[in-house]
Amino acid sequence: MGRGIAQALADGGHRVSVVESVAEVAAHVEALDHPRIALRGLEDAVADCDLVIEAVSENVDVKLALWRRIDDLAAPRTLFATNTSSIDIDELARVLGDPTRLLGLHWFNPAVVVPCVEVVLGSLTGEATATAAAAMMASVGKQPIRVRTAPGFVANRLQFALFREAMLCLEEGLASAEDIDRIVQTSFGPRLARLGPLLSADLGGLDTYAAILQYLSAHLGERFEPPQSLMRMVAEGRLGAKSGAGVRGLDAAEYDELSRGMADLLRDAYRRPDAAPVPRS
Active-site positions read 106
Distance CA 117, CA 133 (A): 10
Distance CA 153, CA 147 (A): 7
The SS3 call for residue 246 is coil
Distance CA 153, CA 138 (A): 20
Distance CA 146, CA 77 (A): 22
CB 70 within 8 Å of CB 80: yes
Contacts of 188 (CB under 8 A, 6+ apart): 200
The SS3 call for residue 95 is coil
